Amino acid sequence: MKYLIAFASIFSLLLAGHAASGAEVTRPNIVFILADDLGWADTTLYGQTKYYRTPNLERLAQRGMLFTHAYSASPLCSPTRASILTGQNPARIGITAPTCHVPEVRLTASVRPTANATSKSLICDSATRFNTNYVTLAERLKAAGYATGHFGKWHLGPEPYSPLQQGFDVDVPHWAGPGPAGSYVAPWKFKDFDADPGEPNQHIEDRMAKEAVKFMEQHKDGPFFLNYWMFSVHAPFDAKKSLIEKYRQRTDPQDAQRSPTYAAMVESMDDAVGTLLDTLDRLGIADKTAVVFYADNGGNMYNEIDGTTPTSNRPLRGGKATMWEGGIRVPAIVNWPGLTKAGTRSEAMIQSTDFYPTILSLLKLSPTPNHPIDGVNIVNALRGDAFERGPMFTYFPHQTKVPDWLPPSVSVHRGDWKLIRLLHQGEDGAHAYELHNLREDQGETNNLAKGQPALVKELDALIEKFLADTKAVVPGRNPAYDPKASSGPAATKKAKQAAAGNSSIPGWSTSRFAALSVSGEEWQIVSTGNDPWVATRDLPAKAKGPFTLRLRMKSNATGEGRVYYTDAAKPGFNKEQSVALTVLHDGEWHDYKVELPAEKLTSLRLDPASGKGEIRIGSLELSDAAGKLVKAWKHK
């Protein structure tokens, strides 16, 4: 809880700021829609997709201003969410990774004192909770007379760090996890939050939009702040069956965007936007309601669904969890009645940190004492006037071994230029650099750093000042780094293992939330939570199903299990081709039998848990329709 005296001082400042204006302040309702993992190329707004359909986002863009160069404050979700609520950069907040659902409570970031000999830099641990000492945007608006409601994903910490402790009157479904509970399509696994009666297969965004509509109807006389942070289009990848089939019929296998499941997820997301717009029109309050649409980071390029990555961010490079443009440039629309002009387009560079100071400025609310703001006021950009925001910074001090990954780094955008400082990745522990002119090379294919040493030095000085100003916790050089450990046969073996995720077993790959290895005569899966799957394509090509999978396993993790399978007709893992596996996480050995109704098998995925812990597998065998053993994986 905030201290009462602090609240009193803030409230008095708000009143003083209001009185000083000398006139009644027009305070519109505010609807802030944040999509999860929606890439810059995932909508029809920028002409980059022929596959997805987002007519309601186009409708919103026709009412307001579309931004072509909008950025998240981080290539991953939780840091960006904290930046929206505070106007501060994740470097200052300390939440630099999406770890706010883990059991360990850390309110500050830290650096580990040691690291593996193959790592050039030390390891940074993110804060895992959004400290309630921050005065959030919701608290500022609530003190100014707004009704405040949060709907959808939070991922900044469970109670006592939930929306209800951060300025929101309402929080639905009051869920602290990184994605929807279990599935997008009911039945869900939210506590005390089920599908509407009579809709057993209800989509979570349909339900969230309904809940948001109720909130708007209740507070239609305003002002209200509706914070709708969608679960879409984050994993797990599933959608309405009818929509998946619709997009399957129009899939072009040569298109970089070709996942019908993901396309269906995008449509349901867009439908929810349409529901909110329809409600504003029906209630007659569209002309006094500001609507912001944004995304928390770039599109997902490292998971697999329907035999491909969920999406493609082309022509941008990289995606979610990378510092390339594909990881941080996002779709953005702002419709602020009386300020933005309908159907306009802006090339102004904006960031998620900018909404906090901008909204306070438009509402004539004075800044909170002792609350540094890293974002800038973008009112001039919203008017369509000349606007130059100055340098913009992104800080991501983590190693995420995703495709096209970058080591721990920090970047600065200034005008057309972008400099990425790769922390301690150069010779003898020095920094390495990537310099790109985004107007000439938006795909970031040509590193100009060597040919522009003066510009690198100038932009790097801005980075240094930013890190000092924000008091960022920065990983230093790893004194145990050994170049020999990073080259030669051992490194080649490690690289092959990295390509399989965290698996040391040939033929098997893992998610980034699991490590698979041999321990004695058993397989050991170490789960860090979220989605700790292991998968293989090492399957008998001529065997005929249906198949039976038998496994002997013990676990001290948590969560329900599931076995996914694919065939030639449907090569991507999806919920329709999966079987629930009730795992007993009691630390004892149990035998499990799973029936797989497939004629042929092309790949197999075991999701033994969803929580943190250790799973051991003593045997894993596959039998065909006749009961004949067709595959047994050896565990030594």
What is d(CA 75, CA 325) in angstroms, rounded to the nearest whole number? 9
Q: What are the C-alpha distances in Å from 66 to residues 60, 80, 333?
A: 9, 20, 5
Cα(354)–Cα(379) distance, rounded to whole angstroms? 10
Burial state string for 375-413 with b = 16 or more CB within 10 A and e = fewer than 16: bbbbbebbbeeebebebbbbbbbbbbebebbbbbbbbbb
**Contact criterion met (CB below 8 Å) for 585 and 556:** yes
**Per annotation, catalytic residue among 18, 77, 101, 413:** 77
Q: Which of 69, 155, 203, 424 is flagged as catalytic?
A: 155
- Our CA angle for 124, 127, 130, nearest 5°, is 155
Place of tokens 């790949």: 603
Residue pair 142/167 in contact by the 8 Å Cβ criterion:
yes
- List Cβ neighbours of 284 (8 Å cut-off, separation of 6 or more): none
Q: Which of helix, strand or coil describes residue 480?
A: coil
**Euclidean distance between the first and final Cα of the chain, in Å?**
53
Q: Is 77 a catalytic residue?
A: yes
List Cβ<8 Å contacts ≥24 apart for 166-174.
166/85, 166/130, 166/132, 166/134, 166/136, 166/138, 166/139, 167/136, 167/137, 167/138, 167/139, 167/140, 167/141, 167/142, 168/138, 168/142, 168/227, 169/142, 170/215, 172/208, 172/211
Determine contact, residues 413/434, Cβ cutoff 8 Å: no
Q: Catalytic residue positions?
A: 77, 155
